[in-house]
């Protein structure tokens, strides 16, 4: 904003490094604020999910069923089996992903925990 006194006395100019430093500080403040709000929101969304979810852990060698729905034309979907198996757990890749195998000669599959059942 320019004032009449600025026309007479001149407008005090800020140096470029000073402007850049102020801009960086403002951007850092905004970034921290956004991160805090995202963390609060993600924790709020995660809480109901954690209370309803059940922890299922499989060990290598466990027999499991794989949910793999396949529609066959001409058959009622209600009468078709959506579960294939039994598969054997080979190893746990991380908390949610497992490597399974139908038989020792078959190709291993990598599947999400939600598609497995004992």
117: how many CB neighbours lie within 10 A of its CB? 13
Return all residues near 89 (Cβ < 8 A) that are at least 6 apart: 58, 59, 60, 61, 62, 64, 98, 99, 100
Which contiguous run of DSSP H or E holds residue 11?
A: none
In the chain, the percentage of residues whose pLDDT exceeds 70 is 92
pTM above 0.85, yes or no: no
Given this model, what pLDDT does residue 11 score? 64
Given this model, what pLDDT does residue 71 score? 80
Q: What is the mean pLDDT of residues 75-92?
A: 87
Residue 107 has pLDDT above 90, yes or no: yes
């Amino acid at each position: 904003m320019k004032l009449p006194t600025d026309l007479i006395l001149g407008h005090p100019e800020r140096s470029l490094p000073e402007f850049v430093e102020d801009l960086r500080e403002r951007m850092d403040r905004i970034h921290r604020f956004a991160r805090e709000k995202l963390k609060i929101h993600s924790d709020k969304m995660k809480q109901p999910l954690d209370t309803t979810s059940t922890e299922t852990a499989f060990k290598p060698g466990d027999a499991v069923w794989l949910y793999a729905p396949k529609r066959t034309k001409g058959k009622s979907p209600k009468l078709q089996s959506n579960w294939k198996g039994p598969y054997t757990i080979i190893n746990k890749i991380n908390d949610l992903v497992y490597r399974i195998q139908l038989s020792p000669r078959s190709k291993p599959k990598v599947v999400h925990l939600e598609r497995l059942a004992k």
